C-alpha cells in the first residue's frame, strides 16, 4: 500500500510570511494585518440547524488566512493562492448576486452585507487568501473564508467596532445565502467565529446560543475521512430536505421540527403518515418515495430530525461522563438515520464508516450535508494510522479514489495572526 495523504494544519508564522510576500507581489506594499478562521467538523446533529435544532461542531486547527489592507475608496481586489488566475477587482457597491460570482463572492458578499451598516467606501480592501481547510470536503472552507474576512473588516473599520461575533456570523450566513448562492443554516459560521479552544460547541440553532463542551476523551481522536466524492445531487437535495421539513412542521402545527420532542414522536409520525404519505416533493430518491422501510418520506425525514436532536444532547452527556463507547454508539446511530431515514449518505460515506468501524473505530458517521464530503471516526489515539490504512484499503478494493485524512483537534475560533 502506498503512502496515505494527510491534510495538515498550517503553521501561522509560515503562512503569514508567505502571504506577506505574495501580497506584495499581487498588490504591492504590505497588508494591515493577517487574520485566520477555522473550518469545522460536526460531531453530531446533522440537518438539524435549519430545523432550529441542536448541533455539536468543533473548530479545526485547519484554517483559512486572509491578508487585508483597507482602502477608503470602496474598491475591492480579492485574490486567493488557491485560485491564482481568478483575482477579482471591483467595488463594494457593485457586489450583487451575480457579481463577482464564484469563489470571490464569499468575501465580497461579506462587504456587501456590512455596507448596510457603514459607509461602503470604508469597506474597500485588498484581500489575499490562503486556505488550509480542504475545499469542498464538507469541512466548511467557505465559512472559514467568509469569517476570516469578516473579522478583518470588523477590526479594521472603525464603524464596525461595536459589531460582536454573533452579528458577524449572521452577516457571513447572509453573504453565503444572498451573494454566494449557497444555502447554509448557520452552524458553520457560529463555530468558526465563536468556538472555544479545546471544546466542542453545542449550538442551539433556535437562537444560536452556545454551550462549550469540553473534549473529555484525551486518549481518543476524531479521524476525518475526506472521501473526495462530490455527487452533483447534493445542491438540489438540500433544498428539498429543507422544504420537506418545513411542510411537515406546518402539517404538525409547530413552528419548526425542533418543537417535536422524542416523546411526541410516535404521535407526530402517525399524524404525518395519515394522508401525507403519497406526496413527494423530493422526486424519486435513491430508494423511492417510501424508502427502505416502506414508510412515507415525511415520516422518515421527521424521525431523523427529532431523534438526531436527542442524540446531540445524549452525546453531550456522554462526553461529560467520559463515555467514549457511548459517543461511538451515538455516532453510528446518527449515520444509520442519515442513511436510511434522511437519505443523504452515499456509497463512499457508507464505505468509510463501515471500514473504520471494522478496523476498530468506536463509532463513525458521515458529517456535513452528505452526498460526498467527509466522514468522521472516533478512534483510540494509537489506532489512528491503522484505521486510516484500513479505510484506504477498502477504497482500493472498491476501485474508488483514496480518501484524504486529517485529525480534528478542537481548536480556537477566528483570530488576528499579526
334 binds, among Mg ion, ligand ADP, none (CB under 5 to 8 A by kind): none
Beta-carbon neighbour count of residue 211 at 10 Å? Answer: 14
> Catalytic annotation on 314?
no
Of 135 and 317, nearer to ligand ADP (C-beta) is 135
- Cβ proximity to Mg ion: between 105 and 142 the closer is 142
Nearer to ligand ADP, 195 or 269 (CB): 195
- State in angstroms the smallest separation of the CB of 136 from ligand ADP: 4
Q: Which residue has the cell 445565502?
A: 177
The alpha-helical segments, DSSP class H, found in 115-160 are: 141-156
- For Mg ion, the binding residue among 52, 105, 142, 345 (CB under 5 A) is 142
Q: Is the torsion defined by CA of 292, 368, 407, 201 positive or negative? A: negative
Residues forming the site for ligand ADP (CB under 6 A) = 64, 80, 82-83, 103, 106, 129, 131, 135-142, 145, 182
Least separation, in Å, of the C-beta of 401 and Mg ion? 21
Q: Which of 130, 188, 226, 341 is catalytic?
A: 188
192 binds, among Mg ion, ligand ADP, none (CB under 5 to 8 A by kind): none
Residues 6+ apart with CB under 8 A from 297: 244, 277, 280, 282, 285, 289, 290, 291
| Nearest residue (CB) to ligand ADP, 82 versus 307 | 82
For 64-93, give one letter per residue: b (16+ CB within 10 A) or e: bbbbbbbbeebebbbbbeebeeebbebbbe
Handedness of CA 205, 208, 209, 211 (dihedral sign): positive
The option from ligand ADP, Mg ion, none interacting with 83 (CB < 5 to 8 A, set by class) reads: ligand ADP
Alpha helices per DSSP H over 253-296 = 265-276
Task: State whether residue 155 is helix, strand or coil.
Answer: helix
Spatial distance between the Cα atoms of 302 and 307, rounded to a whole number of angstroms:
8
48 lines the binding site for Mg ion (CB under 5 A): no
Asked if the bond preceding 100 is cis, omega within 30° of 0, the reply is: yes
Nearer to ligand ADP, 77 or 303 (CB): 77
Q: How far is the CB of 143 from Mg ion (least distance, A)?
A: 6
- Least separation, in Å, of the C-beta of 231 and ligand ADP? 13
51 binds, among Mg ion, ligand ADP, none (CB under 5 to 8 A by kind): none
- What is the contact surface with Mg ion in residues (CB under 5 A)? 140, 142
Instruction: Kindly list the catalytic residues.
Output: 188
Amino acid at each position: 500500500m502506498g503512502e496515505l495523504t494527510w491534510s495538515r494544519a498550517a503553521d501561522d508564522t509560515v503562512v503569514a510570511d508567505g502571504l506577506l510576500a505574495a501580497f506584495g507581489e499581487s498588490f504591492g506594499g504590505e497588508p494591515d494585518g493577517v487574520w485566520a478562521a477555522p473550518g469545522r467538523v460536526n460531531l453530531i446533529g446533522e440537518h438539524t440547524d435549519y430545523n432550529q435544532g441542536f448541533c455539536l461542531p468543533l473548530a479545526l486547527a485547519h484554517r483559512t488566512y486572509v491578508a487585508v489592507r483597507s482602502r477608503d475608496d470602496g474598491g475591492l481586489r480579492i485574490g486567493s493562492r488557491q485560485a491564482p488566475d481568478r483575482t477579482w477587482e471591483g467595488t463594494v457597491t457593485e457586489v450583487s448576486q451575480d457579481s463577482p460570482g464564484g469563489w470571490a463572492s464569499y468575501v465580497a458578499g461579506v462587504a456587501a452585507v456590512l455596507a448596510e451598516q457603514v459607509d461602503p467606501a470604508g469597506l474597500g480592501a485588498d484581500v489575499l487568501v490562503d486556505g488550509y481547510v480542504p475545499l469542498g470536503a464538507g469541512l466548511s472552507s467557505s465559512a472559514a473564508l467568509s469569517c476570516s474576512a469578516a473579522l478583518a473588516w470588523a477590526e479594521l473599520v472603525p464603524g464596525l467596532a461595536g459589531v460582536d461575533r454573533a452579528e458577524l456570523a449572521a452577516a457571513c450566513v447572509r453573504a453565503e445565502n444572498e451573494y454566494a448562492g449557497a444555502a447554509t443554516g448557520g452552524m458553520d459560521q457560529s463555530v468558526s467565529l465563536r468556538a472555544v479552544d479545546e471544546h466542542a460547541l453545542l449550538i442551539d440553532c433556535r437562537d444560536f446560543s452556545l454551550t462549550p463542551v469540553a473534549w473529555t476523551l484525551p486518549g481518543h481522536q476524531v479521524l476525518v475521512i475526506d472521501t473526495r466524492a462530490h455527487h452533483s445531487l447534493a445542491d438540489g437535495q438540500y433544498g428539498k430536505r429543507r422544504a420537506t421539513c418545513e411542510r411537515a412542521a406546518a402539517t404538525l402545527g409547530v413552528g419548526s421540527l425542533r418543537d417535536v420532542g422524542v416523546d411526541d414522536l410516535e404521535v407526530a409520525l402517525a399524524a404525518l403518515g395519515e394522508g401525507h404519505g403519497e406526496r413527494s416533493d423530493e422526486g424519486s430518491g435513491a430508494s423511492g418515495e417510501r424508502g427502505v422501510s416502506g414508510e412515507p418520506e415525511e415520516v422518515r425525514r421527521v424521525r431523523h430530525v427529532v431523534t438526531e436532536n436527542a442524540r446531540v444532547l445524549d452525546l453531550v452527556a456522554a462526553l461529560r461522563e467520559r463515555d467514549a463507547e457511548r459517543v461511538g454508539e451515538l455516532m453510528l446511530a446518527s449515520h444509520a438515520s442519515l442513511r436510511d431515514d434522511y437519505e443523504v449518505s452515499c456509497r463512499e460515506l457508507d464505505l468509510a464508516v463501515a471500514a473504520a468501524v471494522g478496523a476498530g473505530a468506536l463509532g463513525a458517521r458521515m458529517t456535513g450535508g452528505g452526498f460526498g464530503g467527509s466522514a468522521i471516526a472516533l478512534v483510540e489515539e494509537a489506532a489512528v494510522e491503522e484505521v486510516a490504512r484500513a479505510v484506504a484499503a477498502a477504497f482500493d478494493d472498491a476501485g474508488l479514489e483514496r480518501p484524504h485524512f486529517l485529525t480534528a483537534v478542537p481548536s480556537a475560533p477566528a483570530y488576528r495572526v499579526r
